[in-house]
Amino acid sequence: MGKRTSGNIFLTGFSYTGKTQVSQLVAKRLGWKLVDTDDEIVRLAGKPIPEIFAQDGEEHFRKLERQALANVCRRKSTVVATGGGIIMAPENRQMMRGSGAIICLEAQPETIHRRLLIDSANSKDKVVRPLLASPDPLARIISLKQSRQNAYVDSDWTVHTDHLTEEEVATEVIRGWNYICKGAASKGAASSAPTEETAAVVTTATESYPIFVGWGILDTLGQRMKDAGLSGSAYVISEDHVFPLYGERAEASLRAAGFTVASFVVPFGEKSKSIEIAKKIYDFLVERRAERGHAIVALGGGVIGDLAGFVAATFLRGMPLVQVPTSLMAMVDSSIGGKTAINHPQGKNLIGAFHQPRLVLSDVEALSTLPERELISGWAEVIKHGLIRDAEFFEFLEKNQKELTRLDRKATTEAIKKSAAIKAAVVSEDEKESGIRTLLNYGHTIAHGLETASGYGQLLHGEAVAIGIMGAARIAEQVGLLGRDAVERQNNLFRGFGLPVVSPDVDPQAVLKAIELDKKVQKKSVRWVLLEEIGRAIVRADVPPEVVRGVVGNYDHR
């Protein structure tokens, strides 16, 4: 496919395949700029395209077209709607491919003809469309389309639009861009992002959205939300340990982008993930007459992301959500994928909904103000991503442990980008946890049991996950899946980051009872995520109960 120096999207295709409308949707979803090459040509020439052809001829127009394309190709994070003939020149295709992905919108001639007739009938413009000027418009479409087909076939990705809505076409365009410009990420590897701060793009059947990761990027929040098509009011939901640090900056960024801002701050900690707190936020939104198009901004750690996300999913049957995670755990895990929830006394996250955000913005600099224990806790999820999907990333964590524990700017940003890309790739493949997404629960079965049995708050989530992962590793070793060396590598890396690997003084029977209530139980069998090797996880529902009881009951003695 050639080297991609940027991650731009170039939409091409015959007339009435939807380039204009789809380019707008794609740019809105990704929070990118939108450029039409015809508009650029008009800007360069200082006159409309018909006048260029009439006064200067087609050869001059094609020169302007190449110049406009060259200018556009120097941009980043841009969706480009191209003119109908731009793809015909091989040098143009080479320029576009060097700057991103060429994605062709395709349709059958009969579909194009039907859309043309509908558009003409509904248009207030009485000028006869050029294609309709032919005695046989359908034959003319077939002839023209056939003459361009070899160039269309040379695109990197093709979306057949005949039976798709514009929203569905936009989803397929972004899916194609993910595959072409971030091909390794689509396989679960943590590839480098096509732009400096775009770690990944989540593309599901219902939504596509970017994940921005960078150092000191909180001040760009308002503009990125505006670029994503959001406007009007923004309601910042935060916690009392975070809002004094970052609330003012977030609000200022939002106001500078034209948003009306109001904020609601909840007490720090897992206890705020309750129906009582959610009701208070509902009351806050009702008092301010929040509308369905207004945005909820979750500014904080995983608790805030879950709580604000749940409110966004349920108030007015759904409001746009923007995740602004400030903890390591939230940056690499809970802010990505659309899981939202509040707790029930009988279990963690039992009341919830899937509600994808419009964008995720992670300012890595915020980690410098995290309490040490909470920061350490977050590394558990980062390590988990390497364990289940990417052995090379796990090795990166082993080799850069010292730099990461002291929050080296370059190493930490790279680790968060790679970890976020792994999570995004898994979520893109399986939005509702019906398949591969289950692998993200590695260690969580025991972890949630520990959290429930000990009472929320004794263990941080990452601490429970680290203990749970080591429990799952010992289960895998005992059933013959995982070698001793792999178990020890996990143990050593967790200890190196300062994470616990054995449980505190918690009643094993209470942990086992909580495991039975876990969301991953199906037909009374616990689905265990286990490793076959580092970088490759599987799901097993046939783990002998006595093995589980032995591992859980002996944590304190390891």
Gap between the Cα atoms of 146 and 193, Å rounded: 36
Residue with tokens 């994470």: 499
**For 62, how many CA atoms within 13 A lie in the half-sphere containing its CB?**
11
CB atoms within 10 A of CB 174: 26
Gap between the Cα atoms of 307 and 71, Å rounded: 44
Gap between the Cα atoms of 458 and 269, Å rounded: 11
SS3 per residue for 160-172: ECCCCCHHHHHHH
Residue with tokens 């110049």: 67
Gap between the Cα atoms of 445 and 465, Å rounded: 9
557 included as an active-site residue: no
Among 124, 126, 163, 317, the one annotated catalytic = 317
Gap between the Cα atoms of 89 and 111, Å rounded: 26
CA 253 to chain centre: 22
Gap between the Cα atoms of 407 and 521, Å rounded: 38
- The residue among 349, 423, 414 whose CA lies nearest residue 384 is 423
Compute and round to an integer the Cα radius of gyration of the chain.
Answer: 26
441 included as an active-site residue: yes
Gap between the Cα atoms of 271 and 268, Å rounded: 8
Among 106, 433, 451, 463, the one annotated catalytic = 433
163 included as an active-site residue: no
Per-residue tokens: 70: 């060259």
437 included as an active-site residue: yes
AA letter at 183: G
Give CA separation, 491 vs 332, 406, 556, in Å.
21, 20, 15
Among 461, 474, 520, 527, the one annotated catalytic = 461
Gap between the Cα atoms of 188 and 22, Å rounded: 27
Find out whether 455 and 534 touch, Cβ atoms under 8 Å.
no
H or E segment at 269? none
H or E segment at 59? helix 58-73
317 included as an active-site residue: yes
AA letter at 267: P
444 included as an active-site residue: yes
Residue with tokens 């793009």: 201
339 included as an active-site residue: yes
- The residue among 149, 154, 193, 201 whose CA lies nearest residue 176 is 201
SS3 per residue for 186-210: HCCCCCCCCCCCEEEEEECCCCEEE
Max CA distance (Å), the chain: 88
126 included as an active-site residue: no
Among 441, 451, 474, 520, the one annotated catalytic = 441
Q: Residue 87 has what DSSP assignment?
A: G
By annotation, the residues acting in catalysis are 317, 339, 381, 423, 433, 437, 441, 444, 448, 461
